[in-house]
Structure 1
């Protein structure tokens, strides 16, 4: 009887220990950013699908607004969020400089940046930027778009006067005549087109890098199942967007406090069809990696190709996307 009792106690102890381990593996909360340049994040936040999925586990969801890739990457690096929405090449740059992140999902393939000038500007091309004031937010796709565009025309950053402004301030500076050009970001770029008549004089979708959902390496290691749950919620939002473009435009309009025509224009420049990170993205980033080295945006000797290979992590999305 005594031995039976001991076996029962032992079994209960093992069961309790297992429960304790399971509880230890669940995060106390999940912190995500939302961004006006990421329509899926706005849809997901609006409908609360992730909150519903996590309700049985009593895991709360915290949303933090990112005003640009640079802000999202700062939040990830400081541990303020677990998931952050950024341009792909901006994530490469940040990881190369020590930010421990993984790119686990593609929230869109956007054309969200271009060279913007006022409606009456004499500037007609990239070459015309020489000696001009150009606004762009450091550490973001627009900034890297600017550098790549200059290099393609035989110009350097020193050939222009770069004015480092956050995206919204860049739009304001352009429309107030304080800068000659702005490398914009949707939906602010679309708003400037619709509301101020600003012109997109240089567009190159190949210089727009993908919209990446990044997660901290620590969260991915400690909570792999919950990474998949977040991606599953994003998948629900992505499929809903494809099926409901008009309603999506209304949500973007309301969340970002934009006119509906602006939101509709923004959405025409997003492709939501391929959410799994993979070789396509590796190749695109490696073809652009030289700009990071040439402009000394990464430490000397950094193996950027290795950084790219380490950043892109398709396994979570492959397990979820159907």
Structure 2
């Protein structure tokens, strides 16, 4: 059948129209879906944006056993880094891991410097922290005796008084050292003193030995002639920077800025050892030779958390069970896995090509 020319043209037009209207409806449908999806995504991520808002105040510690913290505080680098986001910086002095962990647990600080095994003990007992950075691989503790002490071996410590700060690496170091000689905490009298007071007690013959911590230990060696009775670098756990879990969750960008500044300090220390020793000496009010001895016992070349720390902490953890410092049945390997946070510092190391 044939149609007149006009009729044929009309027929083609007539059959195109429904397809165009259908296409428009499909296009409109996709547009509606896109708007709905965008709205849903915005609603989903809105709480995250709110949580990531900069804090009005950042509270963190500085410690004589953490050279980076002293360098950062002296140079005002953190205040400079956080000024654009209007975050005030509050520095709190920690005289030992036990103090830093108490401050973290109470919320007095958001970020604190501790020894690795002390952080494990705190985490096992409910402290809401995670370790995010290695500020040093130190040999910062040993068992110290007076220069004229008759004590020559670990076995000689049986029945003696040892000054140690409970909950710190020197305290846990002491327990591990005693175990190597077949002794336990019950075979000695541990006198709970903060690190500077332990040094004084040793010098005044109020205790027979002291679980030292640098820079006070270095000062005892240089200024008092004290001797290191027992050294074991493998019993010195890593110097870790820890953050409260809520701070990690709510302020990841600010945490990354803090870690970036710590990295700046770590690199600066390697390039400026004499200037670093001067800062440590002035901040801790000890002599320059003492500060240099302390720094000589620190390795600043391993800032990233990972397998090394996991292995070292899991090897050290049994002492916490043996000395009944954690609840029976505590899975310390699980605690350590939960403590070590390798993700928070990844953006910093990635930016530096590490």
TM-score by length of 1: 0.93
1:177 corresponds in structure 2 to 205
2:135 corresponds in structure 1 to 107
2:88 corresponds in structure 1 to 60
2:298 corresponds in structure 1 to 270
1: CA distance, partners of 2:48 / 2:318 = 48
The size of the alignment, in residue pairs, is: 308
TM-fit CA distance, 1:225: 1.1
Cα pair 2:52 2:250 within 8 Å, conserved:
no
Summarize the alignment of residues 1-322 of structure 1 with structure 2, pairs less than 5 Å apart.
21-22=49-50, 25-321=53-349, 322=352
1:8 corresponds in structure 2 to none
2: CA distance, partners of 1:286 / 1:240 = 31
2: CA distance, partners of 1:80 / 1:162 = 28
TM-fit CA distance, 1:18: 6.9
1: CA distance, partners of 2:210 / 2:49 = 52
2: CA distance, partners of 1:132 / 1:118 = 13
TM-fit CA distance, 1:25: 2.0
Structure 2 stretches lacking a partner, 5+ long:
1-38
Say if 1:223 and 1:158 are closer, same or farther in 2 by CA, change over 3 A.
same
1: CA distance, partners of 2:121 / 2:47 = 40
Deviations 1:175-203 (A, max 9, x none): 00000000100000000111100001210
TM-fit CA distance, 1:317: 1.8
SS at match of 2:113: strand
TM-fit CA distance, 1:316: 1.6
Deviations 1:258-296 (A, max 9, x none): 110000000000000000111110111111111000100
SS at match of 2:167: coil
2: CA distance, partners of 1:98 / 1:171 = 31
SS at match of 1:104: strand
Deviations 1:197-247 (A, max 9, x none): 000121000000000000000000111111111100000000000000000
Say if 1:196 and 1:224 are closer, same or farther in 2 by CA, change over 3 A.
same
TM-fit CA distance, 1:24: 6.6
Cα pair 2:52 2:253 within 8 Å, conserved:
no
Deviations 1:13-58 (A, max 9, x none): x9xx979955872211111100000000000000111111111111
Structure 1 stretches lacking a partner, 5+ long:
1-10
Considering only CA atoms, is the larger Rg found in Structure 1 or Structure 2?
2
Q: Superposition RMSD on alpha carbons, in Å?
A: 1.7
Say if 1:123 and 1:22 are closer, same or farther in 2 by CA, change over 3 A.
same
1: CA distance, partners of 2:207 / 2:263 = 40
2: CA distance, partners of 1:22 / 1:294 = 45
1: CA distance, partners of 2:187 / 2:300 = 36
Cα pair 2:121 2:326 within 8 Å, conserved:
yes
